[in-house]
Structure 1
Amino acid sequence: MDRPNLPLNGLRAFEVAARQGSFTRAAIELRVTQAAVSQQIQRLEDLLGHRLFTRASSGLILTDIGAALHPVLTRNFDEMGEVLDRFQGGRYRETLNLGVVTTFATGWLIPRLEVFKVAQPGISLRIFTHNNRIDIAKEGLHMAIRFGDRTAWPWLEAAPLIAAPLTPLCAPDLLPHLQAPQDLLGQRLLRSYRVDEWAGWFAAAGAECPPLEGPVLDSSVASAELAAAGHGVALLPAAMFARQLQAGTLARPFATEVAAGRYWLTWLRGKPLTLAMAQVRSWLMEGAGAGEPPE
């Protein structure tokens, strides 16, 4: 098909709908009506003579033609957007959208952003926090920092950042009551969605894990806030809460730690690194290797 005849509006509507898996979510991203998205895709299908989607109760399903077309469009729209971003404002500048698990953002990255701006003035770093469950492609990110085991994301490239073993943290006035691991049996133990963390810590401490009935939270930051307020004991990466421990808003009753994973910088496998992606990776890995505490 000749370039002047490319149905750009229809291709853009299709790419967003395929990525979002929904005409409704595509309309929100494109800031148009759902009917407009549907009409653009219908025109594209008429032009091609092929269906691009089938509808199912779970959402939109790509046909073989749609599945062949979608990655090509995503890659090219991303590349066009990245180039245009670099030249906005009359000077070269590259924007990088970075998803960051909230604990790492507050405990390590955000205190260092001013240092990053000085070191990399040509990169506009946009931070989007998440709770460790994120889809880089669907959420328009270039890279994402996650916590866990490398094997959990076999479809992604990953660079190791910081190991963050877990240990109980609590309010300082609770310290006198926690002289041995068994003393935790009388406390409310705050839990994360990773169900085996407390069992692993008690095993490392040589004690039996009690039945767990405390609240389940999907944010270590929320767990830390509850613990600091005296509402329970949280199992947290002490390295990410160094400022709170130094300030005395949190306390660490035991030295025992349990490995539950580490923080990783991830990006889509097969996607070439832009200059900004490569520089951010180098900066993060250098800083993580230095092991500096947050200021």
Structure 2
Amino acid sequence: MTTVPRTADDTITWKGAGTGGPAPTGDRAVYLADTATGLPIPGEPDFATPEEARRHRKQRLAAALRLFGKYGFGEGISGHISVRDPEHPDHFWVNPFGVSFKHVRVADLIRVDAAGRVVHGRHRVNPSAFVIHSQIHELHPGATAAAHGHTAHSRALGAIGRLLEPIDQESAAFYGRQTLYEEYEGPSVSLEQGRDIAEKLGDNRAILLRHHGLITVGGSLDEAVHWFFTYDSCAQVQLLALAAGTPKTFTHEQAVAAGQGFGDEQLGWFSFQLLWDEIVAEQPDLLEED
């Protein structure tokens, strides 16, 4: 097997075809890798200790927050991304209250327990971050991470009460994997409202909150953040298409076929690695730990 170093601290084992990779099996064409999508996608890294896994997740979290800042997903104090702690599954790491996405470093991240106490870090937790993310992590064991933001495109789509329609390949990633949350009781600061959102999320990967914003989840932070970026860009495309005319949607069969490729979890995870490379090269200070 061939390993490709991503940082000084971890390596990723490649699973796909190519130099050092396994040969395609069965009738698969030689140019297709032995993955669900046929793409030479590497696998997620393995870690020997919880400490190594924790450091990796915190670095990805800080990078994701910087990316939110870079791409204009910030809206004052609103918006948060969380990732479950690898050793204490009822704890999660999240961005601190009152620190700009554009300035967050690994050193600034906080760890919050199931009661809402900050057990690591010197900053306070955003109450909305706690009530939403704690309930998502509690009710959905497979949701390693959750991303939430009040982006212009998701707010606009939510205002007209329309989910993504399968009008292109990217939007098909959410075909049958999204839901609209209609209730609104003001800012999310009660556990009851957070639990209601988590319950309505179900087994979907995205929940569009009417009058509020967007939440996406994934089996890794990388995947959850990729879905957030994709959903927001698809919302923009749909709004543009609606303004120009009547978009033609996929048939059910086309949407399913496109979703199997563009909605693949491994592809979602890998897509974030390109963003990781981009932001770490541009803003290496995000990795500072003290």
**The structure with more helix, counted as a fraction of residues:** 1
**The structure with more strand, counted as a fraction of residues:** 1
TM-score of Structure 1 vs Structure 2, range by shorter chain: under 0.3
Q: Which has the higher contact order (CA 8 A, sep 6+)?
A: 1
**TM-score, with normalisation over the residues of structure 2?**
0.25
Larger Rg: 1
